[in-house]
Structure 1
Amino acid sequence: MTDSQTLSLPDNASLFTRLRVALQALQVLKNDPANATCGQLLNICLDLNVYASLAQQLQRSEEGRRMLSERPSLQGKELDLTVLERLPEGTLGHAFARYFRDNKISPFETTLELKDDIDVIGKRYRETHDLLHVLTGYGTDVVGEMELQAYALGNLGIHTAVLILLFGTFERLKERQPGVGMSEYLRRLRAAYHRGRASQQFLGFWFEHHWETPVATLRARLCAPAERMN
């Protein structure tokens, strides 16, 4: 049985090694889908080149270089949800704290060592997942999660999102899940993907500086308008 505590990705790992570690991480995630360390490790294994490209993009601006240098964190130990929930209703901080309470979940945590900018990008991607739910308005049900993956794929080109979308769609076809029909499901994924492509890249945004900003203001600034569903 694979132990998440012993899993690591060597420096300058080959594609074969990255795939081997990714499969080991998947074995853990099958039984422990909330395992933050293996989730981040899986992302880095599959998206190493994507993260390297994103890090290079951030290095081109003063703000991006500062983010990579200061490494801001949205991990649970950095967040005081009680304080955030006291902020006025409609602000990002209040909505973010309520999101965790309403869904009975906890903020992202990882013990993965940050050795370089690629690791920083991988961690940032994982820890902004819940913020993106708040910002985009996509739900935490199965369809909403798939919409958010499609949005991230369009916005960043994340390979892990492709894997999740393929797996989720296959499971939907196999089990013929009730609710949203397949044609509507695919339409919503396409809309989310194109919305992500048309939106400002979110990884370089300092959400930590905007807890008191209304969600509506940030949504208008960072997200392209959502397609209206009939």
Structure 2
Amino acid sequence: MHIFEGQARVPLKGWQQAAVAVGSALGALMNPARADLIAALGETTGKLAFQNLLDRMKTSHEGRIILQERPRVISSSVGHAWDLPANTFGAAYAKFMGSRNFSPDDRPPVRFMDTEELAYVATRAREIHDFWHVLFNLPTNMIGESALKVVEFQQLYLPMCLLSTIGGSVRMKAKQREYFFKYYFPWAIRAGMSCTDIMSIYYEKHFHEDLELVRNRWGILPAPDLKNLRPPSKSQ
């Protein structure tokens, strides 16, 4: 095993990687709450995509700084967000996490990447996922997660994002699926195409800035406001 900042990584042979991918996919389909299985699926099916992300980050000034400093989104490094003014990106992130009783320390560790650099890129993508929820104004329900996966697929090209979107839409009730494809899927296509490279942003350094200001700078198109849309019936 190799160690990435205290996390054990497991090198896999080709057939082992395929076995983990298939097992993770089946397990995640049966139990979408298993974040560890979804993480394993992303790692074992997305190595080429992670390599492309690494190469892309190296062409960006901010991306290179991220790769050099390797910031982690953990409580000890983002805790100051809870003390920032209400209009800031950091405060919006703190509100998002606090209202859901989420902790930045809850993400499963990366285990199946081949190099230290790729392990960090995979870790970074996993840890900044909640920043994207805040910036794109997406809830953490099935519709919100599926919509964000559409944005992520356009930006990251990870097969897991596409598989998660398909799996999520299949599990939706009929009215929810109609709601998703009528409002959120078209929005997600536009949002993924219009924003900047979301992997090459050093988000933590922008916590103190106004939320709407950073959205505009990065070309972020917030999702439709649920309050202004007719919610699907619980009976459907």
The alignment's TM-score, normalised by the length of structure 1, stands at 0.80
Instruction: Decide whether the 8 Å contact of 1:8 with 1:21 is kept in 2.
Output: no
Instruction: Decide whether the 8 Å contact of 2:24 with 2:37 is kept in 1.
Output: yes
Query: Are 2:68 and 1:72 equivalent residues in the alignment?
Result: no
The amino acid that maps onto 2:19 is: R
Structure 1 distance, partners of 2:220, 2:133, is: 14
Distance 1:62 1:86, change over 3 A: closer
Query: Are 2:181 and 1:186 equivalent residues in the alignment?
Result: yes
1:132-161: CA deviations, max 9, x gaps?
010011122221111111111122222111
2:45 alignment partner in structure 1? 46
Could you list the runs of 5+ residues in structure 2 that have no partner in the other structure?
Answer: 1-7, 230-236
Query: Are 2:90 and 1:93 equivalent residues in the alignment?
Result: yes
Correspondence list, 1:206-221, <5 A: 206-221=202-217
Q: Which has the higher contact order (CA 8 A, sep 6+)?
A: 2
1:98-135: CA deviations, max 9, x gaps?
11111122224344368422111111111111110100
Structure 2 distance, partners of 1:181, 1:19, is: 31
Could you list the runs of 5+ residues in structure 1 that have no partner in the other structure?
Answer: 1-6
Structure 1 distance, partners of 2:41, 2:77, is: 23
2:19 alignment partner in structure 1? 20
Distance 1:31 1:156, change over 3 A: closer
The amino acid that maps onto 1:70 is: E
Instruction: Decide whether the 8 Å contact of 2:109 with 2:123 is kept in 1.
Output: no
The amino acid that maps onto 1:138 is: L
Q: 1:225 aligns with which of 221, 224, 230?
A: 221
**RMSD, aligned α-carbons:** 2.7
2:117 alignment partner in structure 1? 117
Distance 1:224 1:130, change over 3 A: closer
Distance 1:169 1:49, change over 3 A: same
The alignment's TM-score, normalised by the length of structure 2, stands at 0.78
The amino acid that maps onto 1:10 is: P
Structure 2 distance, partners of 1:142, 1:109, is: 18
Query: Are 2:135 and 1:145 equivalent residues in the alignment?
Result: no
**Percent identity of the aligned residues?**
20
1:189-222: CA deviations, max 9, x gaps?
1320231122101111101111101111111111
Instruction: Decide whether the 8 Å contact of 2:73 with 2:128 is kept in 1.
Output: yes
1:16-61: CA deviations, max 9, x gaps?
43221223445665558354x5443321111110010110111224
Equivalent residue pairs, number: 214
Distance 1:86 1:226, change over 3 A: closer
